[in-house]
Amino acid sequence: MIRKKIIFNILGKLLVGESVFLFLSLLVSLIYQESDTIAFLYSGLITFAVGGLSYLSSKGVKKDMGKREGYIIVSLVWVVFSIFGCLPYLFGGYIPSVTDAFFETMSGFTTTGSSILNNIEALPHGILFWRSLTQWLGGMGIIVMFLAILPTLGIGGRELFIAEVPGPAPDKLTPRIKETARNLWGLYAFFTLVECILLMLGGMTFFDAINHSLTTMATGGYSTKQASVGYFDSAYLQYVIIAFMFIAGTNFTLSYAVVTGRFRKVLKDEEFRFYSYVVLLFTVIITTGILITSNMGYEQAFRDALFTVVSIITTTGYATADYLLWMPFLGMLIFVLMFVGGSAGSTGGGVKVVRILLLFKNSFYELKRLIHPNAVIPTRYNQRVVDERTVTNILAFFVFYIIIFMFSTVVMSFWSADIFSALSAVATTLGNIGPGFSEIGPMENFSKLPDFAKWFLSFLMLLGRLELFTVLVLFSPSFWKE
């Protein structure tokens, strides 16, 4: 039996937490003395009131939570946070359309980075900060964040952690879930602060630096400029952002190992090596292609290629160059990268490197099993045998991902200018990347799409962020049977 009271109880606490961050954006608005102050005040008060009432109506409920409640809560919280998170856009009139406001907010929390805004610089500082903050909160995970920094709210449970953390098998830094969450968010905040300082040393204002640090570590890609990172036209700033995008796309347990002095663990990790090789290979090919087809200098070609490759594979979605102007072969390589994604346990979206690596390994071993049918040839990863359940889960993930991608592309073809727009719109939202191709390329946005398409793509963002199964299980009749 699904216990509704515990769902209302936890959602209420989480909404109260969201109101705290809305009030933080209100503080930014007050500092800059801009017109969005009232919008944040109303939004924060409404969110706090609804959250408080939801909590009080279910006060005293027992905290024992089952898997079904965990899946419902994790799926609902991203929708509920997006509903209340879009209030500042609506109350301030900055995004007057409910559809557009929800799309922008869902894109923020899921760290997709797809936008409908045509004049970002015209927005007040409070709105820009809230826009970046939604990505930072969603990057490491809303539930994980509340497990880490708001333990007094009494939110706990392995079910919530597993349902939200990306990857086929979430790693724990410590035996305790709350301590793991706290370490992850501590490391996340540390990298954000370090990047902010380095960006300021490169000439960025504090406001631009903190916003880009928030959205880089979240692999979100929202910028304070319409031209994205390309606006700053600085090699130093671009290399700093490349480095932190790469870190954000790496499993945070490996980053934790580096911080604690265990460097060998990183070098021995198969996923990290594969991730690094893919970045290197695609960068070399694209750099060569740019040099052959243009008069660009070596360093500029390398930097544009590296920035774009790291931005796409980590699903950050920043842009410094318009890859639509490159030769079709290079554009196709970028499209392929959209299906790779970051590492498991990172803030990156997409399929995840470890799944692709294990799929390749299992396929290769399957050929060997055909030749030697009596031999026992297990799939190994990091010198350990991968259990059959994990392999089956990965295969099922790929099947669902392909089916959803194909079906969604057919749906989007009704609303897109051409087939490549439909293909890339689905790939970029399902993979939580941001930019696509054609009418939604890196120098364009999603504002021209009809409302139905935006709602549909918003659902794909949620589906991709929670890695399909957490959401799809809710559509299974057996899930709701008592």
Q: Could you give the angle at the alpha carbon of 155 between the alpha carbons of 47 and 149, nearest 5°?
A: 75
Residue (of 137, 140, 143, 142) closest to 158 by Cα position: 143
The Cα 143–Cα 103 span in angstroms is: 21
Does 134 appear as a known binding residue? no
> Count of CB atoms within 10 A of residue 56's CB?
12
Joined tokens for residue 398:
């790929």
Residue (of 73, 54, 50, 52) closest to 3 by Cα position: 73
The Cα 46–Cα 108 span in angstroms is: 20
Does 220 appear as a known binding residue? yes
Distances (CA, A) of 464 to 91, 110, 308, 351, 461: 29, 8, 21, 9, 5
Does 315 appear as a known binding residue? yes
Distances (CA, A) of 394 to 162, 347, 398, 431, 463: 15, 19, 6, 16, 16
Does 192 appear as a known binding residue? no
At residue 20, φ and ψ (nearest 5 deg) are -60, -40
- Can you tell me whether residue 269 is helix, strand or coil? coil
Which residue ranges are tagged as binding site for K(+)? 111-112, 220, 315-316, 432
Which residue ranges are tagged as binding site? 111-112, 220, 315-316, 432
